[in-house]
Structure 1
Amino acid sequence: MINVIIADDHQIVLDGLKLLLEREKDICPVGEALNGVELLAQLEKKQVDVAVIDIDMPRMNGIETTKEIRKRFPHIKVLILSMYNDNEYIKQLVEVGASGYILKNKGKEELVSAIRKIASGSEYLGEDIIKTIMEEMKKPKKTLNENKIPLTKREIEVLKLIAQGCTTPQIADKLYIAPSTVETHRRNLIDKLGVANSKELIRYAIENGYCQ
């Protein structure tokens, strides 16, 4: 069972999300909050796997709340719900440790899928979000790839699938290799690219054109 807590400054949104999630057999809404301060107080008392957070809340916004959650409750995964398909917001949230980012105009299926995916340890960025980041990176600013670190063909394949949000078993199935081999490639990529985790691998892949 995936224990989920929801934070949004609109009670009608909280009620709607709670109703949707209660219909899923493997998801249990265990709490709700109207702002980040209330959310953090509840996390002290509740067993939570995933926090679904609105980015635009009073007292403590989604970015600040995510940063605090990752610092104080590192086992809790954060999924951001937002009206903003904005590259800067997305980058900031990935940097502070959010595991997923989806738009509020998406349907129930994507929300539930995102919760399940990040609860399993993967990251989730909606297709619209990935498209926004890619379009931003294509704008003529500066050459991002001048110092691109050379990767093997297999490392590139694994990196692309990680950036698509695929889990280790899914990558293994697609590439016809063992899950342990996928994890070896993942660790090698983290070491070679000098990043800290899979979220930073995704960011590197997007910024360096591996998602095109």
Structure 2
Amino acid sequence: MTLSKHINILIVDDHQIIIDGIRSLLKSSATIQIVGEALNGEEALQVLNTKPVDVIILDIEMPVMNGIELTRIVKEQYIDTKVLILTMYDTPEFVKQAIEIDADGYILKNRGAEELESALQALARGEDYYGKEANKTLRSGVRKKHTTNQNKIPLTKRELEVLKEIADGKSTPEIADKLCIANSTVETHKRNLIEKTQVENASKGLMKFAIENKYI
């Protein structure tokens, strides 16, 4: 996604009071512009066909077309549009599903304007944003099952350090700062990890791999 002066936002939720609340939370932002709203996935697609949208803020449970179905379509047909799931569902199953359908972010509705804006800014920079609660929830639902092949993957000490930071939701600059290495070195370790683990996504894929295989 190419950054413009404003981050164009589409809000999708089946409760108008939630849409109004998000508008109120973001109205003072100088960089965020709300270009549309919709009460379900089908209405959202109508907006996407007529207006440029950088980030969609959407709920999971909606009538007509839910957030999961909408996200799948967006990731296939509107590749420059990022998806931020804003939901009340705080369960490992929903967080894992969000990762599997390649949602770019996941935060809970009980969070304030500061985290919402942080998530939107991260997505606009091309980063993923899974809130601390989502990471904690995902960890709590991890089972003790390991697959034989994944357990035999050899990782270096530094790769393990980088993997743990990725699983904790840290960005490349944050990892570089904590481990006292260059951003380019972090990216090299990420590429090595992707090659070794055969995941498709640097952040969400490695996060899921680390948690499911007890590397954290």
TM-score, normalized by the shorter chain, greater than 0.5: yes
Aligned equivalents of 1:205 and 1:197: distance in 2? 13
Aligned equivalents of 1:178 and 1:143: distance in 2? 33
Q: What residue is the counterpart of 1:15 in the other structure?
A: 20
1:66 aligns with 2:71: yes
- Contact kept? 1:122, 1:166, Cα under 8 Å: no
- The RMSD of aligned alpha carbons is 1.6
- Contact kept? 2:146, 2:212, Cα under 8 Å: no
Number of matched residues? 209
Aligned equivalents of 1:203 and 1:31: distance in 2? 33
Aligned equivalents of 2:51 and 2:207: distance in 1? 30
Q: What residue is the counterpart of 2:3 in the other structure?
A: none
Aligned equivalents of 2:46 and 2:113: distance in 1? 27
Aligned equivalents of 2:209 and 2:123: distance in 1? 19
Aligned equivalents of 1:179 and 1:143: distance in 2? 31
Aligned equivalents of 1:120 and 1:12: distance in 2? 29
Aligned equivalents of 1:121 and 1:167: distance in 2? 11
Q: What residue is the counterpart of 1:173 in the other structure?
A: 177
Q: What residue is the counterpart of 1:41 in the other structure?
A: 46
Quick one: percent identity of the two aligned structures? Answer: 53
Q: Decide whether aligned partners of structure 1 residues 145 and 119 sit closer, same or farther in structure 2, where only a CA change above 3 A counts.
A: farther
The alignment partner of 1:57 has SS state of coil
Q: What residue is the counterpart of 1:182 in the other structure?
A: 186
Aligned equivalents of 2:47 and 2:85: distance in 1? 18
1:194 aligns with 2:174: no
- CA displacement at 1:145 relative to structure 2: 7.1
Q: Which stretches in structure 1 are left out of the alignment for 5+ residues?
A: none
Q: Decide whether aligned partners of structure 1 residues 125 and 145 sit closer, same or farther in structure 2, where only a CA change above 3 A counts.
A: farther
Q: What residue is the counterpart of 1:152 in the other structure?
A: 156
Q: Which amino acid aligns with 1:67?
A: R
Runs (4+) off by over 3 Å: 143-147
The alignment partner of 1:110 has SS state of helix
Q: Which stretches in structure 2 are left out of the alignment for 5+ residues?
A: 1-5
